[in-house]
Structure 1
């Protein structure tokens, strides 16, 4: 981990300053809970791509079977499996956890303590798109490494708890995000999303699923609704509106009876 060679100066300065304002100075929030910022230098992206290609070449020549990133991606590799585990731990602890502490405190952002790091590949002779899903993470970092491509936009459709993961999408929850090399998007793992077809070229992204064992243990005992679930919040507001309307109706009828 060599921060001055990995990260763009603005991102590194924000992390070193380590304040909420310094983070907000470098990020945009084009849709609630989705944070976009410039992160990786071009030279580092190219070096990481070269290492990945060397690994894939060795796998092919050795006819060695490797674990792919997850059940949905048939192409790509788990970075922890060939020497990146320590680097990715430092990336999570020193650079993603400070951001998550500010932006995702309600889902364990300040207590991230494990990760699943991998790359995914899209394009000709690779995966084409990715279906609608949620991640097995509290916070997900997604950084485009390159190369030349068109299409492949991420589409987001609202954050949901386990109970409401398949519920409908509200208009304000619809957001599409276009990748750019070196640019990162940070979001809750429970933010429903997918990837549209990469229509030309070859796109490779670095994914870091960040997890909190503390948050996962606390969820086992949670009885009230999760504040970060869009559908739970809507149900709560609807109950509140119904309760207020009922009380007003009772008050109106009592007033009429005494008039």
Structure 2
């Protein structure tokens, strides 16, 4: 016989005299982390430009403002993992595969193409923008922006923005890239299905500069003038140049841009034409239908 005295679990009596084992406390359920409904405008997000990511780095910077308050001071790696899991949840596998192939395509170009005008690849506001535009952006008020903007039609804004020198550099860089494409016989993806000539600026290294252009100089305008389509929260871009000429595309037919906000810049050396026509805003049901005469 053992001399050990084992402790029996305590029991309690039920109201009907039946002895019941002691009830264990219910497990504590920790609620899952959720994104904020509204962005934390006072939070300065980190940069993710130096990381190899599944998505555009600017998306992570934008999404960081919606992180739960207790995550804002976590390490960058922890924040990336949390945000990446959310993004992957809503991105189909086929789309992830397509994005991965495009990253590989872009990296192949960047590793072989030698830029002509390297100063284009880093944002230099004073060198890129005219003084009146810089002042309006720095003042950061709707009145300051309206002082340099004309609105010939609702939602269509015109203003002086870029220094002539910047435009010359950009044209020269695009011409150099096109020459490289022809010399190497590299098959590139054109900007869209409507143009046979042109280049996607992001594909040969200008993505980071254009991200800064969008964040620091387009979004300050769109937040005032296009708030109903998310003008204050633009987080991605598709930057490209299309080319027109006698032996190239001669025009671009009616279409609706797949964007919340579009910035059009007319570039060139000596040419005629270049007019841009707007036909108003369209509902989702009639995005691609032809225009009709207004009936009074």
> TM-score range with shorter-chain normalisation?
0.5 to 0.7
* Structure having greater relative contact order (Cα 8 Å, sep ≥ 6): 1
Whether the aligned pair in 1 keeps the contact of 2:196 and 2:249 (CA below 8 Å) is yes
Question: How many angstroms does 1:161 deviate by?
Answer: 2.0
CA–CA separation in structure 1 for the residues paired with 2:185 and 2:194: 22
Distance 2:209 2:269 in 1: 23
- Measure the CA separation in 2 of the matches of 1:152 and 1:113: 29
Q: Secondary structure of the equivalent of 1:45?
A: helix
User: Could you give the per-residue CA deviations for residues 59-89 of structure 1, whole angstroms, max 9, x where no partner exists?
Assistant: 1000111110001111110000001000000
**Residue-by-residue CA offset, 1:179-210 (whole Å, 9 max, x unaligned):** xxxxxxxxxxxxxxxxxxxxxxxxxxxxxxxx
Cα pair 1:29 1:36 within 8 Å, conserved? yes
Which structure 1 residue ranges, 4+ long, deviate > 2 Å from structure 2? 164-171
For residues 161 and 114 of structure 1, the distance between their equivalents in structure 2, rounded to whole angstroms, comes to: 23
Match of 2:171 in 1: 49
Instruction: Say whether 1:36 aligns with 2:158.
Output: yes
Contact 2:133–2:161 (Cα < 8 Å) also in 1: yes
Instruction: For 1:12 and 1:169, locate their aligned partners in 2 and report how far apart those are by CA, in whole Å.
Output: 40
Counterparts of 1:53-202 in structure 2, within 5 Å, are: 53-165=175-287, 166=289, 168-169=291-292
CA RMSD of aligned residues (A): 1.7
1:17 Cα deviation (Å)?
Answer: 0.6
User: How far did residue 167 of structure 1 move?
Assistant: 6.3
In structure 2, what is the equivalent of residue 245 of structure 1?
none
**Other structure's SS at 1:122 match:** coil
* DSSP-derived class of the 1:29 partner: strand
Deviations 1:111-152 (CA, angstroms, capped at 9, x unpaired): 100010000111122210001000110000011122211123
- List runs of 5+ in structure 1 lacking aligned partners: 172-259
Query: Which secondary structure does the structure 1 equivalent of 2:264 belong to?
Result: strand
Unmatched 5+ stretches in structure 2: 1-122
**Of 54-63 and 150-159, the range deviating more from structure 2:** 150-159
> Does structure 1 retain, via aligned residues, the 8 Å contact 2:266–2:274?
no
Note if 1:11 corresponds to 2:133. yes
Alpha-carbon distance in 1 for matches of 2:146, 2:162: 18
Deviation string for 1:85-122 (max 9, x for gaps)? 00000000100011000000001111100010000111
Is the partner of 1:102 in helix, strand or coil? helix
Counterpart secondary structure, 2:162: coil
Q: Distance in 1 between matches of 2:185 and 2:151?
A: 44
